[in-house]
A = this chain, B = another copy of it.
């Protein structure tokens, strides 16, 4: 994907997204020995960067496609993002969710106008339900992370960050399905000066780390991480970008994630998801590497169950 595509994508989605604030904390800077700039996508519409990619993907459809709506399977932020983006653009959004998804997530999707189809909580049921909607409604399937237009959309958060702080040395994001880090890596490549992209990933779901080692897409046998947004897999669209442009993936423990989340809550005074804290946890774990550097961090989202906090 070319620089011009990222520029046009950003131009296209601007009216539908927030240019989110960038926060800093003196105490976190002292803790790491670096200057850290947090791009706060927890303040994005519906509470996560996913709004960017979802909006771009829908806007790139033809009129005929838009008329029949879009469909995705997700029980997380992308379900809400596609619903709200579709609502803003006057398009129907069909969301396939496992029937054991929390009621609060179903309500959020409904609140944004998403049309939910429940299915058994397994891969076959999910894919069958999705295909059935594609056929019955003529809806276009949009993948939460393995889609070029989604990847471009997610890259606009880092583009905004670099517009405000052009001389960052590093940008760090959490790694889940790979959409955010791939988009970020493109933005760093096209708009950074001498900047590199790194990722933070839980040891418990380190498919991206292992994929970079082996050169092929690896899978996770289990997904026992508190970072619920990262229990997903790399795909064939984003993996080549990650291979080409991501300098390093740093793995972190569950305890390091919770500690970093607490630091963000206490010192930035913002609500972020455990997944967001993975990027800061990675910086802290390898802080020797970042001394006196200027580091951007994408705080990916803020949709968290306050009744079920790790502290």
Chain A interfacial positions (CB closer than 8 Å to B): 21, 23, 42-43, 47, 262, 265-266, 269-272, 302, 306-307, 309, 311
Contacts and interface: CB of A to CB of B under 8 A. Distances in A.
Copies in the complex: 2
Contacts of A262: 306
A265 B271 contact: yes
A212 to B, nearest CB: 32
A306 B265 contact: yes
Contacts of A265: 271, 306
Contact of A306 (B270, B272, B302, B311): B311
Nearest to A301: B269
A264 to B, nearest CB: 9
Nearest to A264: B271
Contacts of A270: 269-271
A47 B23 CA distance: 14
A210 to B, nearest CB: 33
Contacts of A23: 43
Contacts of A21: 21
B269 A269 contact: no
Nearest to A267: B47
A306 B309 CA distance: 9
Contact of A269 (B42, B307, B309, B311): B42
